[in-house]
Amino acid sequence: MKRQDEENVDIIQETENETIDVNNSAEEKGRKFKKKKGESDEEKKDGKTKGEEVKEKKDKKEKRNRKKLHITWSKNIKTLRNGSYSVLVSVVVIAVVILLNMIVGQLPVKYTQFDISIGKLYTIGDETINTLKNLDKDITIYHVVQTSNEDSTIEKLLEQYKENSKHIKVVKKDPVVYPNFTAKYSDGQISENSLIVECGERSKVIDYSSIYETSVDYSTYQQSVTGFDGEGQITSAISYVTSDSLPVVYYVEGHNEVSIPESLKDRIEKANVELKSLSLLTAEVPEDAAGLLLNSPESDYSKEEAEKVIAYLENGGRVMMITDYVGKEMPNYQSILAAYGVEVTDGVVVETDKNHYVQMPYYLVPNIGSSDVTEGMTGGSQYVLLSGCQGFTASENVRDTLNISQILTTSDGAYVKSNPKEMTTYEKEEGDAEGPFFVGAAISETVNAGDATAENAEAETAGNSETENADTEDSATEETKETRLVCFASSSILEESFNNTVSDGNYSLYTKSLNWLMDTDESATVSIASKSMQTQYLTVTAAKGVLFAIILCFLLPVVCLIVGGVICFRRKRK
């Protein structure tokens, strides 16, 4: 019975378990069904939303595309507008630049180009400008050169000549294209980049080799260019072809005179002045003489020779006269100066002012006075260096018709050592003549050139009526001339070494003096020095040398120490 009960309990338990499993299974199926149904409903709901979303996305995409298209179109329009504006501005700027270039191209070179070359190679000086301003004849300058082989320096210089005169015309001639062109101007071969200056029937060839000056270093046998003489040669050629006659200057010989250096002689001849020798002992002053050069004779002139020079001056002659201390009396030679109000002291000038000498007290750096001769040299622009000068003083009784211009003067403290060969000190001693002195002068006087002619006419017409003699005399005295005399107290003005020391100051003064002497109504000379392409010398007087030494050796180091000390002190305080 008990067993039966247990079995019934088991059966009941199993039945309950099965019922529970069935219920669980039914519930599970119900849940799954509901889940599937919910998912189906959700899918339907989601399907509708996705469709709308797809449509919305499509609409948005279309909107974005339209927006992008609008933006792109706007950008294209803006880019096109900006591009057109840029192109228009570029066209305007290019047009303005072209217009400005055309305008600037018509301006003179002197306003558009700046000469920064050593020695101002491309710039013409005042003498050349004055020569060009006075031109009244047409001149053609032929530049003989092949295309692309032109010397740029010569080309730029020729542009300066063209722009300063409407009478100047520059024409290039290619010797390959025109092989026979130069034959009518020269029998020889004309080198490339040479110039031919022509005016009417007159012409002059400027060979390329004469435009550039060269020197040879014999230690290395190397040739180098030392100077550019383009302006001097061209201006000289212009003066030559426009002059009807060239002046002839005679240099007197026979007294062991100081010779003219070749470099200075070339410069004189470049001024279209012909040099010839003359012996006053055997000949009179020639009628064609435009001037005389008396270059410091070692022995005295004879009285007759001095009288010939004085007579030449009295008739409107032109003379450049140089003296030197030679240790003996020269009364006849000095009488020429005495006739024109200049007395010569016996001895050598010594300076006490350190601003007026270099190295030694008798190496004088005189003051340059203002005159027609020294134009452009005053105000410290150039210096003159002379050695062993005699002192000039004006005579007490100078006739009123004389005009004496002291172009070179010493300081007030200068004095003359009367016996320099036995000099033991540079200090002033008893008997030394006190200054100031002048060591260079330009003297002029207006004279009646017909006075002597009237006397000759009277002698030749002896026997004629007194009325005819009077008429001849009156007509003779109507003609007037101007006597000109330049004198220097030392022949060192001719020395090339002294000239180089003062950067061509001596030769500039000499050639300016010669130009002043030769300047007449019939002819005018101009001589322009070549432009150095070497290092220029600095002329420093004794006083300036002391000043520079004090500044460089004392003041500058002291200033540096003070500044350095102040800087160190400030840094330590920080």
Looking at per-residue confidence, does 45 or 278 come out higher?
A: 278
478: pLDDT confidence band, cut at 50, 70 and 90? low
In this prediction, residue 455 carries a pLDDT of 44
| Average predicted confidence (pLDDT) for the chain | 79
Report the share of the chain in percent with pLDDT over 90: 24
Residues 6+ apart with CB under 8 A from 144: 173, 175, 181, 182, 190, 192, 193, 194, 195, 196
Looking at per-residue confidence, does 511 or 30 come out higher?
A: 511
In this prediction, residue 468 carries a pLDDT of 47
Is cis: bond before 361, omega within 30 of 0? no
pLDDT at 524 over 60: no
Question: Which whole number is the average pLDDT over 262-271?
Answer: 85
How many helices (H) does the chain have, and how many strands (E)? 15, 23
In 68-151, beta strands by DSSP E: 139-144
pLDDT at 565 over 90: no
310: pLDDT confidence band, cut at 50, 70 and 90? very high
State the Cα torsion 403-406-412-415 to the nearest 10°.
-100
pLDDT digits (tens, 9 = 90+) for 435-456: 899 999 999 999 886 554 444 4
Chain-centroid distance of CA 187 in Å reads 35
pLDDT at 201 over 50: yes
Question: Which whole number is the average pLDDT over 478-484?
Answer: 83
Q: By three-state DSSP, how is residue 120 classified?
A: coil
In 323-463, beta strands by DSSP E: 342-344, 348-350, 357-358, 360-364, 367-368, 386-387, 392-394, 403-409, 415-417, 433-434, 438-448
- Bridging pattern class, strands 168-173 and 139-144: parallel
In this prediction, residue 324 carries a pLDDT of 92
* Residue count (the chain): 574
Which helix (H) or strand (E) segment is 320 a member of? strand 318-322
Report the share of the chain in percent with pLDDT over 70: 75
pLDDT at 474 over 50: no
Closest CA to 142 of 197, 63, 190, 209: 197
In this prediction, residue 533 carries a pLDDT of 59
3-state SS string over 250-282? EEECCCCCCCCCHHHHHHHHHCCCEEEEECCCC
pLDDT digits (tens, 9 = 90+) for 314-327: 999 999 999 999 88
pLDDT at 179 over 60: yes
- CA-to-CA dists, residue 192 to 46, 168, 278, 531, angstroms: 102, 21, 39, 21
In 395-474, beta strands by DSSP E: 403-409, 415-417, 433-434, 438-448
274: pLDDT confidence band, cut at 50, 70 and 90? confident
d(CA 278, CA 572): 83
In this prediction, residue 106 carries a pLDDT of 60
Question: Which whole number is the average pLDDT over 138-150?
Answer: 90
Residue 59 identity: D
pLDDT at 226 over 60: yes
Residue 518 identity: M
